[in-house]
Amino acid sequence: MSAVSKEPVSESSAPSPVPLEELNGSAAGGTIQQSEFSEPAHASSPTPYPLLEASADKETPFSQNAYRWNRGRYSRSRRFVDIWSFVLKLLGSRWLYNKPWSYSGAMSPEKQMARRRRQAVWIRETLLDLGPTFIKVGQLFSTRADIFPTEYVEELSKLQDRVPAFSYEQAREIIEAELGKPIHELYRTFDPIPLAAASLGQVHRAQLHSGEEVVVKVQRPGLKSLFEIDLSILKGIARYFQSHPEWGRGRDWLGIYDECCRILWLEIDYLNEGRNADTFRRNFRLEDWVKVPRVFWRLASPRVLTLEYLPGIKISHYDALEAAGLDRKRLAQLGAQAYLHQLLNDGFFHADPHPGNIAVSPSGALIFYDFGMMGQVQPMTRQRLMGTFMGIAQRNADQVMNSLVDLGALVEMEDMGPIRRSIQYILDNLMDRPFEEQSVNAISDDLYAIAYDQPFRFPATFTFVMRAFSTLEGVGKGLDPEFNFMEAAKPFATQLIMAPGNSSETTNSLLGELSRQAAQVSTSALGLPRRIEDTLDKLERGDIRVRVRSIESDRMLRRVSSVNMANTYATLVGAFTLSATLLLVSEFVWVAAIAGALAAVAGIAFIRTVLRINRADRLP
């Protein structure tokens, strides 16, 4: 998740940083003010060499509640009301979702889908209004396809920062407090107008006394106290969801809350971001086609980060790349190669590689920005992923299922048969087409569709990887319409499969197929005694249950239940009607009217129940 993204600003069009003496004099007179927009006027130049981009959505109008969290007198009680109002409205809309009478006409899957999409858009807009904490929480929740419907996940993944910049005076106070010196002693020049503003901070261009051009990332004032208030309220919400009869079943909301807290506190620690940038630079130190800004550690603190100024062309500005004479097909391949290198070779990858975080230098090298959120794949996890890949290659649902359980992506249940059949169905459909014709986006959509409300629990790292692959596939197709990410990944997949113990001569031969089948048979034979013993243990403990379902018995039970409900409603109609009559005779007109209304409601419920019984009786 980016604290700041990149925007096309040419060096010629951007104003030169202001000398500190002149700047301090202007600031003292109060002439330097920042507008409510998150980008300065000069940051919208279409020239081909970008610096940094604010990812604000300039086309979306701001609501009247936007930025209330940024006001000086915004109280904790007001924040509590705003957050819980959103939660209660969400719960209300989810309650109405399954009520047929809440739809115009008959309820249908198409109308339900349209309502989910409207709800998803409303959630995204409300999270933007609630500010930095909820923007980041929403971005994290966009990785949880096992908890939220696909429409919610897709909409939350579009969350981008849309916040106002804060003033130069506030930025200067933070810099001087964090670095312990007046700003003119730290930098020769410092541009008072930020290049970009985001939910966690903003970026200013500056120049060191040594003459080096840098950018200074300054954290938003009051962010820590806002996080403390919001996270304390969110803990209460997590407890409520954990005890909710529907939403709490099978989900660890308190665990999700703890994970969100850990990630959010890490992301506002700029020293952690600097360490991530250094690690990323070291991993690509032997590659001249990747550039990463250098961190100036003597000008860094938890709330201020000074980075090398590396301008370039934003990777999604295709016309500018063409005008600069850069090979777009090569750039598409380099983007895929860079990410696969991070994931498979280093196990340390950029978790938010959207187009604003990647630029291209005039020489054709890729420039990566913003290392606030990085993913890490441990060696043991990579080994287990290898087992999953091999199971997919062999269409072995059992191997895939067992490796997913080992990875923690699948919760083991008493009856794994339906899960095994779902995995086998996906494998059969996935492998029907050649590998190079597969689409990452289509595969991830299929996985998210089966994950929702199922025992699949995809870790955030897995979802970050799938989203990054989808993003890079989209950028690659923009650069080269014939680009296919799966085809670009083929050499890396082959390298994995041909790892020690998987020789190239046997992989595509009959002997290789026979050896795999023999290995599978031997594994099953060796594991048979253990499986028999596990089954006997479950029998002794009473863990094995045999469920027999009779359709006729179920129908009779439902009919008996409906008849009982009809009798209850009939009794209520008689009681309320008699009460209304007696009250009317006693001249209690208003009370009699209320009793009459209740009798009418009970009568309508009675008629609906009788009609339902009749429809059930007519079924074959």
Specify if 430 maps to a domain.
yes
Same domain, yes or no, for 393 and 534? no
Q: What is the CATH number of the domain that holds 350?
A: 1.10.510
What's the pLDDT score for residue 38?
32
What's the pLDDT score for residue 47?
34
| CA trace torsion 368, 373, 375, 376 (10° rounding) | 100
**CB-CB contact of 348 with 374 (8 Å):** yes
Q: Between 355 and 268, whose confidence is greater?
A: 268
Question: Which entry of 352, 428, 453, 537 is annotated as an active-site residue?
Answer: 352
Q: How confident is the model at residue 353 (pLDDT cuts 50, 70, 90)?
A: confident
pLDDT over 60 (residue 517): no
Same domain, yes or no, for 478 and 411? yes
What is the C-alpha separation between 104 and 548, in angstroms, rounded? 39
What is the C-alpha separation between 422 and 413, in angstroms, rounded? 14
**CB-CB contact of 472 with 339 (8 Å):** yes
Per DSSP bridges, beta strands 290-291 and 366-368 are parallel
Q: How confident is the model at residue 137 (pLDDT cuts 50, 70, 90)?
A: confident
How many CA atoms are closer than 13 Å to the CA of 100, on its beta-carbon side?
4
What's the pLDDT score for residue 396?
78
Average pLDDT over every residue of 509-526:
56
299-324 in b/e burial notation, b at 16+ Cβ within 10 A?
A: bbbebbbbbebbbbbbbbbbebbeeb
pLDDT over 90 (residue 210): yes
Same domain, yes or no, for 384 and 530? no
What is the C-alpha separation between 607 and 180, in angstroms, rounded? 78
- One DSSP character per residue, 20-35 reads HHHHHHHHHTT-----
Same domain, yes or no, for 155 and 196? no
Average pLDDT over every residue of 198-212:
92
Please say which residue of 267, 298, 324 terminates a domain.
267
pLDDT over 50 (residue 56): no
pLDDT over 80 (residue 521): no
Cross-strand bridge partners of residue 215: 205, 307
Which residues, at least 6 apart from 215, have a Cβ–Cβ distance to it below 8 Å?
51, 52, 195, 203, 204, 205, 206, 293, 306, 307, 308, 309
Same domain, yes or no, for 191 and 330? yes
Same domain, yes or no, for 458 and 518? no
Of 209-223, 419-433, 496-510, the range with the lowest mean pLDDT is 496-510
pTM of the predicted protein model: 0.64
Please say which residue of 358, 375, 392 terminates a domain.
375
Same domain, yes or no, for 431 and 468? yes
Same domain, yes or no, for 367 and 399? no
Please say which residue of 267, 301, 333 terminates a domain.
267
What's the pLDDT score for residue 192?
94
pLDDT over 80 (residue 225): yes
Same domain, yes or no, for 447 and 398? yes
Could you report the per-residue pLDDT of 447-487, keeping only the tens digit for each? 555 555 555 555 666 667 766 777 777 788 888 888 877 67
Could you report the per-residue pLDDT of 568-592, keeping only the tens digit for each? 989 999 999 999 898 888 888 888 8
Which residues, at least 6 apart from 537, have a Cβ–Cβ distance to it below 8 Å?
none
Q: How confident is the model at residue 204 (pLDDT cuts 50, 70, 90)?
A: very high
Specify if 12 maps to a domain.
no
What's the pLDDT score for residue 107?
84
What's the pLDDT score for residue 527?
63
Specify if 61 maps to a domain.
no
For the chain, how big is the Rg over CA atoms in Å? 30
What is the C-alpha separation between 340 and 344, in angstroms, rounded? 6
Q: DSSP secondary-structure letter at 244?
A: -
Please state the domain count of the chain. Answer: 5
pLDDT over 70 (residue 116): yes
- The 3-class secondary structure across 61-94, one letter per residue, is CCCCCCCHHHCCCCCHHHHHHHHHHHHHHHHHHH
Could you report the per-residue pLDDT of 404-457, keeping only the tens digit for each? 777 766 666 666 677 777 777 777 765 555 544 555 555 555 555 555 555 555
Specify if 478 maps to a domain.
yes
Three-state DSSP at 120 gives helix
Same domain, yes or no, for 428 and 543? no
Average pLDDT over every residue of 232-249:
84
Average pLDDT over every residue of 21-45:
37
What's the pLDDT score for residue 509?
45
Question: Among 117, 103, 105, which residue's Cα sits nearest to residue 150?
Answer: 117
**CB-CB contact of 184 with 21 (8 Å):** yes
Q: Which two tokens stand for residue 467?
A: 């989203």
Which residues, at least 6 apart from 322, have a Cβ–Cβ distance to it below 8 Å?
328
Residue with tokens 């009247």: 64
Q: Which two tokens stand for residue 248?
A: 């709490």
Specify if 4 maps to a domain.
no
Same domain, yes or no, for 471 and 519? no
Q: How confident is the model at residue 260 (pLDDT cuts 50, 70, 90)?
A: confident
Question: Among 90, 316, 356, 135, which residue's Cα sits nearest to residue 227?
Answer: 135
State which residues form the domain around 112. 68-159+224-267
Of 44-53, 329-338, 369-378, the range with the lowest mean pLDDT is 44-53
What's the pLDDT score for residue 613?
81
Q: How confident is the model at residue 85 (pLDDT cuts 50, 70, 90)?
A: very high
Specify if 469 maps to a domain.
yes
Active-site residue 352, yes or no?
Answer: yes
Q: Between 298 and 391, whose confidence is greater?
A: 298
In Å, what is the CA distance from 467 to each residue of 158, 270, 508?
Answer: 11, 24, 31
What's the pLDDT score for residue 40?
36
Same domain, yes or no, for 301 and 390? no
Specify if 486 maps to a domain.
yes
Could you give phi then psi for residue 456, rounded to 5 degrees?
-70, 135
Specify if 537 maps to a domain.
yes
Q: How confident is the model at residue 9 (pLDDT cuts 50, 70, 90)?
A: very low
